Amino acid sequence: MAFVEHSGKQIIPLWIGGASRPLEPSRFLEVVNARDSKVVHYAQGADATDAQAAVDAAAEAFKTWRYTRHNERRETLLKAAAIMDEKSEELAAAQVLETSCTWGYARFMPVLASGVLREIAGNITTALTGTLPPMDVEGYGLVMKEPIGPVLCIPPWNSPAVLGGRGIASALAAGCTVVLKASEVCPWTYRILVDIFEQAGLPKGCLNQVQCGREQAAAVTEALISHRDIRKIEFIGSAAVGSMIAQTAAKHLKPIWLELGGKGPAIVLQDAHLSRAAKLCAFGAFLHHGQICFSTERIIVVQSVADKFCRILKEEVDAHYTGEAGAAALKSGADNAHTMIESAVQNGAKLLAGDNTWLDDGHTSLRPTIITGVSRDDKIRDHETFGPSASLYVVDGEDEAISLANDSAYGLNATVWTSDTMKALDLSRKFEYGQVHVNTTTVNDPATVPVSGVKGSGWGDNNAAYGISEFLVNKTVTLHRADEPIAFGR
């Protein structure tokens, strides 16, 4: 059991070096179910001393883990995937309790995550394979792949099993050890994840968990990043927080991998399958109450089919999305999503489907809504709502559609709907996005392909060998005969 009892309270402790850190009641954090406005349990908050201890433990474990054979790491990840399947109900229940998501969404996350772990495990050999480049002098050159060292992983609360599990597994596969700075929103969900890896045979200290309150976040994050033994940071979250963490990393000359927000466009062209496009645009906008960085935030439709598409889209929303599409994990997040829609409407935008009303007394669940007529000065135009909504735009043709899609600070996921495959491929080259999907939803993340952000959506790759490589460095070794003459400078 992950909890420790203290004065009748159930506490998620810090987990460092394979053991619970002593409790400090003055830093207990309330973990709140936003939908019920209820404290469901508590978590021990970390301070800078705890952060130091977590990195020390990871650094000590790295001395051994880095030299484990690739097949041993693979077996550990495969066992973790199997245990995750066994614990899927527990993981789902924890995520529902802590983040107020729907049971269906929570239940699917461990299924998706275990597949991600298996794909990473299957790509270890590929990622670790070095090269034997030709030399321009006598001798031989070998380029080997080595783990970069202990890493700091900071995953978000919206899909913890997948996004946390993927980062942890990629780092471990490379031979790195991990300090997991778990979200204070769902520390139990992350603790179950840590337990899964340790039950799979991961040695103590290879994976350590800390969490802290928002008031202590800056100091604890600084202590983690500044530690001499942290060699890389992975952060998934908002662009605003990512920018602050990247600045801290830069100050300490630490490389950082970032997956930030998105303003995912779905372009609907004249030859699109309109009913299918409408169905998956709505799905992409509303899934998980819109709390996905790949959510369909913008729908861009060409003028020639705009009236017909809008009618079909409204029918789709009215038929399937009049009730709840989940709930926000944070009351503040729901308020922000609601306010952005209200502000745009007050500034002249129109409701196409839905009415942005609250569906619960606690104001955590919003009616799925699509608006049109958004102006350039509306905040919603290029800020994530992270709520169940999308903005629809009508354009004259393909060139204007691409221009509008690219007119964003973000560049994560996009999709285009057309029956012409070659046109889709041609257009994909014009998108300023890391992923371009054709005839499907923007919420698309196959475990076998790289997921990459450009512009304000970050940089670096994840999934499979691509993600493992983020935690590897090249080491060049050259071999020469003892009597070989030195050619340098001649």
Query: What SS3 string covers 135-187?
Result: CCCCCEEEEEEEECCCEEEECCCCCHHHHHHHHHHHHHHHCCCEEEECCCCCH
Residue 488: pLDDT over 80: no
Q: Which residues are the active-site residues?
A: 259, 293
Q: How confident is the model at residue 212 (pLDDT cuts 50, 70, 90)?
A: very high
Collapsing DSSP to helix, strand or coil, 20 comes out as strand
pLDDT tens per residue, range 148-174: 999 999 999 999 999 999 999 999 999
Collapsing DSSP to helix, strand or coil, 1 comes out as coil
Is pLDDT larger for residue 490 or for residue 11?
Answer: 11
Q: Which of 297, 291, 279, 267 is nearest to 364 (CA)?
A: 291
Whether residue 210 contacts residue 46, with contact meaning beta carbons closer than 8 Å, is answered with yes
What is the end-to-end Cα distance of the chain in Å, rounded?
68
The whole-angstrom separation of Cα 92 and Cα 143 is: 43
The whole-angstrom separation of Cα 215 and Cα 210 is: 15
Q: How confident is the model at residue 483 (pLDDT cuts 50, 70, 90)?
A: confident
**CA contacts within 13 A on the Cβ side of 397:** 1
pLDDT tens per residue, range 111-148: 999 999 999 999 999 999 999 999 988 889 999 999 99
Give the distance from CA 284 to its chain's centroid. Answer: 16
pLDDT tens per residue, range 353-398: 999 999 999 999 999 999 999 999 999 999 999 999 999 999 999 9
Collapsing DSSP to helix, strand or coil, 257 comes out as strand
Collapsing DSSP to helix, strand or coil, 385 comes out as coil
Contacts of 248 (CB under 8 A, 6+ apart): 221, 222, 225, 226
Residue 92: pLDDT over 60: yes
296 strand-pairing partners: 264
Question: What are the residue ranges spanned by the domains of the chain?
Answer: 4-261+449-475, 265-438
**Whole-number mean pLDDT of the chain?**
96
Over residues 314-341, mean pLDDT: 95
Q: What is the bridge-based pairing of β-strands 4-6 and 9-12?
A: antiparallel
CATH number of 265-438: 3.40.309.10
* CATH architecture designation of domain 4-261+449-475: 3-Layer(aba) Sandwich (3.40)
Q: Which of 141, 119, 138 is nearest to 130 (CA)?
A: 141
Residue 195: pLDDT over 70: yes
pTM of the model: 0.96
Over residues 201-207, mean pLDDT: 98
Residue 42: pLDDT over 70: yes
